[in-house]
Structure 1
Amino acid sequence: MNRHESFDEPKSNGGFGRREFMTGTAMLAASAAVGKVATVRATAADAPERKIKLGVVGCGGRGLWIARLFRDHGGYEIHAVADYFQEVADAAGQELGVEPSRRFSGLAGYRRLIDSGVEAVALEAPPCFFPEHIQAAIEAGLHVFVAKPVAIDVPGCRQVEAAATKAAEQQQCFLVDYQMPTDPHVIECAERFRAGALGNLSMVKSFYYGGLFGDPPLTDTIESRLRSLVWVNDTAIGGSYHVNACIHPIQAMMWVLDKVPVAAAGISSIRRTNPHGDSHDMFGITYEFDDGLLWTHTGRHARGLTGPDDPLATCEFLGDAYMRIGYGGRALIRGGSHHYPGGSIDNLYAAGAIRNIATFYQDVVAGNVANLTVRMAIDSCLATILAREACLRKGFMTMDELLQENRRIEPDLTGLKS
């Protein structure tokens, strides 16, 4: 598969250097409320006030799965669907009760969906398309619910940043579907951490131990890579395993710490058998913060067993006391003045999405456009891109250097249906 790369000069306006980027992270402080708000809204007993006309872009595995959750919420009407593959759009539309005339396909299917009379969109396509889809939806005046990561490169993050600014100006809701900050036990740990539960924090660490997705031989076009999460293997489509999957603990760590790393060092490799995509699948990374705090992250994307008690992803905080949160397992704090026995993080994949769908509904009907998830979504995406690029260089890279380089990575869309 061909990949076209370019190095764009950062724009003097509309873009951000590290100073603007770090200033923007002040919004992370407000994001401390994200999980608590999501949990409260998801448990509200009130019946939906009205139906929101929703369009779903990307109707494969997770796209159809999350469309069912929107339908089951009761406050949404699935008005239109779009997928690159017409048969996928038709199957989803038939199940969800969408008229055949509002089942769109091809690369431009999302534009026809936007023009079909929807009020909001749920975006579940491969992430290389998210910046374009987000921008088009915001420009059309729609509310946006989107999966992670929001982009695969720095220019994409800048595009999402600009769209988010416009959404706020136009009073549109914009929610990025991260699940870990919605769990009640994780929220309790985060609040105790911010109240000083760990005392002097010495270091933090995280891991993501997940499986692989199919990586079949390349074909004449990337069409075959757009199904069944094959695209996670391709940096130009999915951003890489680190950007697409490890972003779960990366985002959660940054959310708790209210910090953005200023540099990363690492090394990575491909260890899966018979690879065809270019994404690395093993990562050893150290992030550095501006106060000297170090954060080690290990990413393992492979078949086979891990430890008997290891959830999919975990963040650990080591100070005068110890704290752990994760995508499963148990959230807890041991020792110190804010000891918390915690509890089990249950069914987060579904429960977190359900809470976010409820929050999105309430934001739209109430006109709440604080959009607290967006800043941390952009920041954590940039942090994963920083580590990916440092690992490819087998060395050290600062956030300043990443933003200045502004490397664009584009998928080769030659031969695809419009």
Structure 2
Amino acid sequence: MKSKPGIDRRGFITKTALGTIGAAGFLTSCSGTGSKKAEVQLPKLLNQAPDGKVIKAGLIGCGGRGTGAAINFLDAGPNLQIVALGDVFQDKIDNCRAKLKEERNVEIADEKCFIGFDAYEKVIDSGVDMVLLCTPPHFRPAHVEAAVNARKHIFMEKPIAVDPVGARSVLASAKKAEAAGLSMVSGTIRRVQKDYMETQRRVVNGQIGEITGASIIRNGGALWYRSRQPQWTDMEYMLRNWVNFCWLSGDHITEQFIHEIDVMNWHVDKIPVRAVGWGGRQRRVTGDQYDFFSIEYEYDNGMRTHCAARQINGCTNKKVEQINGTKGYADAAGKLYDLQGNVIWEYPYPEEGDTASEWNVTNPFVQEHINLVTSIRTGKPFSDAIAQVNSTLITIMGRISAYTGKDVTWEELMNSDLYLGPKTYAFGPVPGIPEEFPLAGVPNTAS
């Protein structure tokens, strides 16, 4: 079967790992004419975007993360404004307006607050220069496409899709945005966090040798949930409880664990050719998602990586981002070890209160907006969209394998017509999406 147009099977992360940051001037590397490559260096990251003309932004998706992103944007530099809000729920708009007023003394005019499934179109058309896309991820592909078509710069929260159809849509939009000179920054924060960046720089420069694999774990407690209320329709219940429904969030392997898997992809610099996954559910009380995942990714050179995540209260919580090499291994958050387990380098965090140190780590939720605003004001378009498409697809690959109990190849993923969720949106019944979690070995709508 002929593969659909998409990301090249080999080396597709290479162009988007170090290279994407370099495109905006945040990271540079060069190769000489000989066999030895120049060592990758990190420049000084800006702790505030440069001044310039006012940049007006519209927020689409006014929940907790969206409101937080709006505040992060305002903190990124001078002359930045949030001027429009869009959501499907009035209470989300009201809470966001109150928070912006309380914390940053920002008032949003009534006529710039839009309610409904088409609110994103109204925000995009409200005279803004850029948009912050922070709705449940199911809606991200359509919102990205509309923003690019309207020639708006974009901040898009992770993940960028919940299914292969959506991911390929964002890929097409990203290519169109690049041709139009638009900047697109995504919410995979580790790639703009200096301690992670410095660790990755040392790994790519060979300090732990050639990469041989990775062990990636994120274990934590259960996420929030909303019990169904008698007055809610199916659609309202699902939207208010979105982190517990796969069609809206992609399950926690895609919605949350993407941070750690993205770090792995950044270091490994290859795509897996196959995913072999396990998962299950014991504790969740709403929705159709799993409590835990365990995925083995296989690569074309025989390398394997293992990724596992759990969201169950009362268990051991642990985060591991270990990158293995021929000379040692890395804790991607700021340490390198030799093969005997001895620390050979550790990120030199400054003393508390030392604000002048070059090793200070800017809040990455603000740093991503600093980078975006800087790219706009300096006229140097920047995009990390393809990197987030890559990482999103790899999490989906693992989720499908766990849901089905079958191996999933990259070629199968890129040819998949899997689309999750309804094709039209209205408050009322949502047919075809039962509140039942998938059983491995049994056909299901989420796979």
Q: Which moved more, 1:110-119 or 1:402-411?
A: 402-411
Change (3 A) 1:56 1:315: farther
Q: Which amino acid aligns with 2:327?
A: D
Matched, 1:111 2:99: no
SS in 1 for 2:211: coil
**Correspondence for 2:345:** 340
2:239 maps to what in 1? 226
Q: Secondary structure at the match of 1:202?
A: strand
Preserved CA contact (<8 Å) 2:337 2:345: yes
1:139 is the counterpart of 2:149? yes
Aligned mates of 1:344, 1:293 — CA distance in 2 = 33
> Is 1:87 aligned to 2:99, yes or no?
no
Q: Which runs of 5+ in 1 are unaligned?
A: 1-8
* Stretch deviating more after TM superposition (204-213 or 27-36): 27-36
After superposition, the Cα gap between the structure-2 partners of 1:68 and 1:166, relative to the gap in structure 1 and judged at 3 Å, is same
Which of 197, 209, 214 does residue 219 from structure 2 map onto? Answer: 209
Deviation sequence 1:339-387 (CA, Å, 0-9, x none): 31225699x998111110100000111222241x111100000000000
Question: Could you say which residue in structure 2 is the equivalent of 1:409?
Answer: 420
Query: CA, structure 1 residues 59+45, in 2 after alignment: closer, same or farther (shift >3 Å)?
Result: closer
Does 408-417 or 134-143 show the bigger shift?
408-417
C-alpha change, 1:279 and 1:86, in structure 2 (3 Å) is same
- CA contact 1:267–1:394 (8 Å) conserved in 2: yes
In the TM superposition, what is the alpha-carbon distance from 1:406 to its structure 2 partner?
A: 2.6
For residue 93 of structure 1, report the CA deviation from its aligned partner: 3.1
CA distance in 1, matches of 2:408, 2:370: 39
Report the alpha carbon displacement of residue 28 of structure 1 after superposing the two structures with TM.
2.5
Identical columns (%): 25
Q: Tell me how far 1:26 sits from its aligned partner.
A: 3.9
TM-score of the aligned structures, taking structure 1 as reference length: 0.86
Answer yes or no: is 1:28 the counterpart of 2:12. Answer: no
Question: How many residues of Structure 1 are paired with residues of Structure 2 in the alignment?
Answer: 393
Judging by fraction of residues, say which structure has more helix. 1
Which residue identity lines up with residue 319 of structure 1 in the other structure?
T
Give the partner amino acid of 2:321. T
**Structure 1 pair 216/99, CA: closer, same or farther in 2 (3 Å)?**
closer
Question: Residue in 2 aligned with 1:163?
Answer: 173
Q: Is the 8 A contact 2:194 2:362 kept in 1?
A: no
* RMSD, aligned CA: 2.9
Q: 2:364 aligns with which of 329, 342, 352?
A: 352
Return 5+ residue gaps in structure 2 as ranges. 28-41, 353-359, 429-447
Name the stretch that deviates more: 47-56 or 25-34.
25-34
Structure 1 residue aligned with 2:376, among 364, 367, 371? Answer: 364
> For the Cα contact (< 8 Å) 1:127–1:239, is it kept in 2?
yes
When normalised by structure 2's length, the TM-score is 0.81
1:4 corresponds in structure 2 to none
Deviation, structure 1 residue 254 = 0.5
Tell me, in whole angstroms, the C-alpha distance in 2 between the residues paired with 1:377 and 1:61.
22
Give 1:292 deviation, angstroms.
Answer: 1.0
One-letter amino acid of the counterpart of residue 353, structure 1: F
SS of equivalent residue, structure 1 residue 339: strand
Aligned partner of 1:3 in structure 2 is none
Task: State the alpha-carbon separation in 1 of the partners of residues 347 and 50 from structure 2.
Answer: 31
